[in-house]
Amino acid sequence: MKRLLALAVMLLLLPVAAAAATVKLAEIHGAISPASAGYFLRALGDAQKSGAELLVLKLDTPGGLDTAMREMIQGILASPVPVAVWVAPAGARAASAGTYLLYASHLAAMAPGTNLGAATPVAIGIGGEAARPGAKPDDGKGEKTEKGAAGSAMEKKATHDAAAYLRSLAQLRGRNVAWAERAVREAESLSADEALRDKVIDLVAADLPELLRQAHGRRIALAAGEKTLALTGAAVVTVERNWQERLLAAVADPNIALILLMLGVYGLLFELYTPGFGVSGIVGAICLLLALYALAMLPINAAGALLLLLGIALMAAEAFMPSFGAFGVGGIVAFVAGAVMLIDGEVPGLEVSLALVVPLAAASALVLAGIGAFALRARRRPTVSGVEAMAGMSVEALQDFTREGWVLAAGERWQARSSRPLARGERARIVAVDGLTLIVEPGDKGEQS
């Protein structure tokens, strides 16, 4: 009787135990950047702290930065929690850096209608040399192959390093090593079904419940040993980005960084035109700092950055020292060239769009034209204040004097010097100002007040 009671209790507790399993879900859509790496590593840490059974990374990326990708892979390799990288939804891709993440994962999955591959390095590290995607590599001896010429020494080093890295991940996870080599050296790509057939991935799943169903019971090799996934009835908890990660992801876009840079410069320039630290100066300073922070995370081309700064400096010089357009035109040309060259290498998803550069340059030209027209109109206006405006003004002698004496001008006492004697109350006109002395000239007959 006791045995039957214990068995009944165990059967009742089985659904509770199954429901206790937790699966964490993280989602990355877009280029792999420091913001992506920070979010993923936080999600991985959250999964470890909560004792999650599995962390699923839902991925759709054209690639990204090598340094950010390697940080994520290091986190996966050292993780005590199994990580499944799932390329989804239909139409998504895991190109370039995404292929490396897929190979590094404990469980690689794709949704139908997705693809992976094209893992030829286009920017290995910050400021790295670019290798031409799809170019036929050399034969390892520096000689020409039938489909292309041997690349530069840096290109070969980048390609060999990337190929060895992906090959090591394939060997670690027991996946297709030969295709990993071709994905790097020949930029090959595969569909989801082809990847499953060639043992590049472990399963194809249209949605998350199907992924968990197929993953249930699989034995996963972790750094600490093997683990069998128990995912029946598992609760899925999505790890949302916090506000810092959302802000970082927004400003890490080169296009957003460029806009922030221009807003910062124009805000500070406007503040200089209108003295008194106000809203434009505060907003400009904040935008400029955010732009510099974003650019510090991106693979910046030094020549492009210098051209960009030169262009901004020339446009600012045109505003302060009108040169009939010479500074302004040169600044716009330098700005456009620098913006196009700003990102070092053709990193997928991290390039400056010409569709943004051209409107920014046009807006800068319009701003400069407006400032120039305003300055020209201001120069043509008559002087209404200062000593320059006193020429021609009428004054009244406050005393009799032969050469120098006191006069009343604009309600104030001034020292005056006259070419002939003036009597008290006689009026004269100012012809010049010599320091704090007025040069006056009386009329032919003089005037009495």
Domain-embedded: residue 102? yes
Query: Of the candidates 110, 114, 58, 118, which has an alpha carbon nearest to the alpha carbon of residue 83?
Result: 58
The DSSP bridge pattern shows strands 426-434 and 394-397 to be antiparallel
Taking a C-beta distance cutoff of 8 angstroms, is the pair 86, 58 a contact?
yes
Q: Are residues 187 and 59 in the same domain?
A: yes
Does residue 198 fall inside a structural domain?
yes
Q: Are 138 and 162 part of one and the same domain? A: yes
Contact 339, 53 (CB under 8 A): no
Tell me: do 203 and 86 sit in the same domain.
Answer: yes
Name the active-site residue from 156, 157, 199, 227: 157
| 112 and 170 together in one domain | yes
Kindly give the confidence (pLDDT) of every residue in the chain, 449 residues in length, as a single tens digit, with 9 standing for 90 and above.
Answer: 555 555 554 555 444 444 468 999 999 998 888 889 999 999 999 999 999 999 999 999 988 888 889 999 999 999 999 999 999 999 999 998 999 999 999 999 999 999 999 888 764 333 334 443 333 444 444 444 444 444 477 778 888 899 999 999 999 999 999 999 999 999 899 999 999 999 999 999 999 999 999 999 999 999 888 999 999 889 999 999 988 888 888 887 788 888 888 888 777 777 776 665 667 778 888 888 888 887 777 777 778 888 888 887 887 776 666 666 677 778 878 888 888 787 765 666 667 777 777 787 777 777 666 666 665 665 555 555 556 667 778 888 888 888 888 888 877 888 888 888 888 888 888 888 887 888 888 865 444 44
| Residue 185 shares a structural domain with residue 282 | no
Residues 164 and 298 in one domain: no
The number of helices, as runs of H, and strands, as runs of E, in the chain is: 14, 16
- How far is residue 136's CA from residue 141's CA, in Å, rounded to a whole number? 14
CA-CA distance, 143 to 151, in Å (whole number)? 9
In 3D space, the residue among 381, 298, 353, 338 whose CA is nearest the CA of residue 127 turns out to be 298
Asked which of 339, 362, 380 is the last residue of a domain, the reply is 380
The total of structural domains in the chain comes to 3
The answer to the question of residue 83 being in a domain is yes
Of 358, 380, 402, the residue that ends a domain is 380
Q: Are residues 354 and 400 in the same domain?
A: no
* 152 & 258 share domain: no
Cα torsion through 27, 32, 34, 39, rounded to 10: 10
Same domain, 50 and 172: yes
The residue with tokens 């434009």 is 280
CB 405 within 8 A of CB 397: yes
C-alpha–C-alpha distance, residues 39 and 57, integer Å: 11
Q: Is residue 174 part of a domain?
A: yes
Which of 213, 244, 275 marks a domain boundary? 244
Residue 311 CA to residue 304 CA, distance in Å, equals: 10
Structural domain of 91: 19-244
Largest CA distance in the chain: 139
Is residue 156 part of the annotated active site? The answer reads no
* Residue 201: closest CA among 216, 209, 187, 211: 211
Global confidence as pTM:
0.68
What is the predicted pLDDT for the residue at 134?
Answer: 37
Contacts of 24 (CB under 8 A, 6+ apart): 43, 46, 47, 50, 52, 54, 55, 56, 237, 238, 239
Residues 190 and 77 in one domain: yes
Residues in the chain, overall count:
449
Give yes or no: residues 335 and 356 share one domain: yes
Residues 192, 385: Cα–Cα separation, whole Å = 77
User: Which residues make beta-bridge pairs with 406?
Assistant: 415
184 lies in some domain: yes
Among 36, 79, 96, 189, the active-site one is: 96
Q: Are residues 404 and 398 in contact, defined by beta-carbon separation less than 8 angstroms?
A: no
> Residue 142: inside a domain, yes or no?
yes
* Integer Cα distance of 355 and 147 in angstroms: 34
> Residues 382-394, buried b or exposed e (16+ Cβ, 10 A)?
eeeeeeeebeeee
Determine the Cα angle at 362 with ends 358 and 364, to 5°. 115
The domain that contains 192 carries what CATH number?
3.90.226.10
Does a structural domain hold residue 125?
Answer: yes
| 268 and 318 part of one domain | yes
CATH (domain of 428) = 2.40.50.140
Does residue 13 sit within a domain?
A: no
Is 96 assigned a catalytic role? yes
> What does the block give as tokens for 76?
């996966």
Looking at the DSSP bridge assignments, the partners of residue 56 are 25, 84
3-state helix, strand, coil in the chain (%, to 5): 50, 20, 30
